[in-house]
Amino acid sequence: MTRRALLDTSVLIALLDASHVHHTLCTQWLANQSGGWASCPITLNGCVRIMAQPSYPNRLPMHTVVAGLQQAMLHPMHVFWADDINPLGSNALNWPMLLRPSDITDAYLLSLAVSKQACLVSLDRGIALSWVVGAEKIHLMQLL
């Protein structure tokens, strides 16, 4: 069974930015993803925030990034998920396993994927299954 893929911000950026070093990798992976893909407020806002800031190498105006994401979300394989996980609930994040504050967003996204019986797809190799209650290998795909 192919699980729906929750694309994290790094993957969304690579897909939208044709000059991104991992654009081809992410585009080819998505073309072969038969289970569909998902986005959520955290990943969408992160994509807009990063790609529109002056320090981003291929900076775009916010309205251009938003329009690109809106177009991508029209694809029939896409679903939008609300951020509806309570990160402080006992069935979500395994707080004692989180080592840095910078891990919280990745842990939350993995928890959202687990709750939807899906898979978080990321370019980040630093995400640990131990951060999320019930996370298994099927819930995380690191493309690098």
Instruction: Output the pLDDT for position 1.
Output: 58
Q: What is the pLDDT of residue 45?
A: 98
Task: Spell out the domain ranges in the chain.
Answer: 5-142
CB 48 within 8 A of CB 62: yes
The CATH topology of domain 5-142 is: Rossmann fold (3.40.50)
The pLDDT tens digits along the chain (144 residues) read 589 999 999 999 999 999 999 999 999 999 999 999 999 999 999 999 999 999 999 999 999 999 999 999 999 999 999 999 999 987 899 999 998 999 999 999 999 999 999 999 999 999 999 999 999 999 999 999
pTM: 0.95
Q: SS3 of 120, please?
A: strand
Distant-in-sequence, close-in-space partners of 117: CB < 8 Å, separation ≥ 6: 3
Residue-level pLDDT at 60: 96
Q: How many CB atoms lie within 10 A of CB 29?
A: 18
3-state SS record for 4-23: CEEECHHHHHHHHCCCCCCH
Measured between alpha carbons, how far is 108 from 70 in angstroms, rounded to an integer?
23
